[in-house]
Structure 1
Amino acid sequence: MRGYKAILFDLDDTLLSRDQAVEKMFLIVLEKCYENVKHSAKREMLLKFKEYDNRCYGNNDKTIVLESFFDEFAPNDRLPRNYIQDFWNTNFPHCFSINQNTINIVNAIKMHVKVAIVTNGSTHRQKAKIMNTNLNSCFDVIIISEEVGISKPDKRIFNLALNKLKVQPEDALFVGDDIEKDIGGCQNANIKGIWFNPHKNKNDTKIKPYAEIDSLDRLFNYFMNQTQSY
């Protein structure tokens, strides 16, 4: 693949759809804590749930998400504050599902290069997501920020992955959805970054990705074209 020896991937909203998982988590909360919610009210509640989750994105403590949600929409059965984190950690990882096509693409790429996951998040939740979706069997190296004490965009977490893969920065590519943490971070480590942008978000930063794709199928085609032109 044009000299590349490794492809590094972000996890949430790259390999796995976090948005779909948040919707499933909302339904669990609804079933656990609320009774007889009108269908017309569910849409507003879901949008607010997503809003509070988004505000807390990157923070391992999810207590504030449900506390804020409960304050706005009084539940029939409010979870105790000291139980919320355990409730989230237990249920949220099971809300993720993997598209078989994603597995197929990663395995196809793995036939040519080493593959790794570099993700921010809590060790417990990220490991559970990876195990529940069987992604653990697909990757040579998995780096989780809480486990190693470094988070993206710090270049050290990318360097750690490269060291474990035994490849140089110029021999690797990184694929992620966050233009600053993923693409800016990997560029700080001298790794070319491919921006995964399925929603076609506008890039309002000064960060210029090496390439941009809107699906993992495009990623696979990109690599195949690189191989054929080499």
Structure 2
Amino acid sequence: MESCKAMLFDLDDTLLNRDKAVDRMFFMILERCYEDVTHSAITEMLQRFKEYDKRSYGDGDKTKVLESFFDEFPPNNRLPRNSIQEFWNDHFPACFSINPNIIDIVNTIKRQVKVAIITNGSTQRQKAKIINTNLDDCFDIIIISEEVGFSKPDKRIFDLALNKLNVQPEDALFVGDDIEKDIGGCQNANIKGIWFNPHMIKNDTEIKPYAEINSFDRLLEIMNWAVDKGEIG
């Protein structure tokens, strides 16, 4: 293990389950803005809410998500347009929770190599998610795209992490769920990418990850395998 010097992680949908957080955000909005909604209507509304959220994924301003949702499903108590972004920033980070098993795995890895987070998104929301889930205590460095001025898949954000960790790209692994931004991005920086693919999505791109996992439990195995093959260090 001494030859592998760092493991870098994406945040949303890798360390944290963003899908569950979106569900919680929806039910918070449902409780605040709607009255007497039937079960069948809730099912349809949740599906549409998640579709609107997905369309705006990566955008800092979430006003369009709720404005579009409210236009399709007029609420009893509509949030004013000028307060939507503040509402999202204040409440969405609190919708995240961390799987204790992931914390245990990261801490196990940290005892052997340096660990870092590289995440796209707004500084306010990403920091709040990290602090609310106690991930700030687990990592040597945390890099947020809004703070540094460039985002994945730009290789500069990966280079910055390596420089801060004082690690060469051939001595690092990156774990992320987005085949293009995470895996394609880290490969642009000559870092081997581990594609976290719990939903077993088909890879329709030309990007070939170094390894693919559907569970965090395999990370230590992958690290050992890489070292044994002489591909790390």
TM-score (structure 1 length as normaliser) = 0.97
Equivalent position of 1:204 in the other structure:
204
Does 2:214 correspond to 1:214? yes
Conserved 8 A contact 1:169-1:191: yes
Please list the CA deviations of residues 51-94 of structure 1 after superposition, one character each: whole Å capped at 9, or x if unmatched.
Answer: 00000001010000000000000000000000000000000000
Equivalent pair of 2:98/2:133 in contact (CA under 8 Å): yes
2:57 partner SS = coil
Contact 2:153 2:185 in 1 (8 A): yes
CA-CA distance at 1:218 after TM superposition: 1.4
Aligned residues: 230
For 2:65 and 2:91, how far apart are their aligned partners in 1?
14
Secondary structure, aligned partner of 1:7: strand
Question: Could you say what secondary structure the match of 2:92 adopts?
Answer: helix
Name the amino acid aligned to 1:180. Answer: E
Q: Distance in 2 between matches of 1:44 and 1:59?
A: 24
Runs of 4+ in 1 over 4 A off after TM superposition: 224-230
8 Å CA contact retained: 2:4, 2:223: no
Partner of 2:109: 109
Secondary structure, in 3 states, of the residue corresponding to 1:54? Answer: helix
SS in structure 1 of the partner of residue 13 of structure 2: coil
Structure 1 vs Structure 2 CA RMSD: 1.2
- Cα deviations by residue, 1:133-179 (Å, 9 ceiling, x for unpaired): 00000000000000111100000000000011010111111000000
**Counterpart in the other structure of 1:11:** 11
Match of 1:133 in 2: 133
- In the TM superposition, what are the counterparts of 1:86-101 in structure 2 within 5 Å? 86-101=86-101
Structure 1 gaps, min length 5 = none
SS in 2 for 1:163: helix
Match of 2:72 in 1: 72
Aligned-residue sequence identity (percent) comes to 73
**Superposition TM-score, scaled by structure 2 size:** 0.96
Partner of 1:161: 161
Contact kept? 2:2, 2:112, Cα under 8 Å? no
Distance between the aligned counterparts of 1:169 and 1:227, measured in 2?
14
Q: Deviations over 1:96-122 (max 9, x none)?
A: 000000000000001110000000000
Amino acid at match of 1:106: V
Shift of 1:40: 1.3
Q: Shift in Å at residue 2 of structure 1?
A: 6.2
Contact 1:21 1:95 in 2 (8 A): yes
1:193 maps to what in 2? Answer: 193
Cα distance in structure 2, aligned partners of 1:37 and 1:198: 32
Return closer, same or farther for 1:18/1:161 CA change in 2, 3 Å cut-off: same
SS in 1 for 2:212: strand
1:46-85 equivalences in 2 (<5 Å) = 46-85=46-85
Paired residues of 1:12 and 1:18 also in contact (CA < 8 A): yes
Distance 1:113 1:198 in 2: 24
The structural deviation recorded for 1:227 is 5.9
Cα distance in 1 for residues equivalent to 2:132 and 2:62: 20
**AA in 2 matched with 1:63:** T
Give the distance between the partners of 1:228 and 1:181, measured in 2 at CA.
Answer: 28
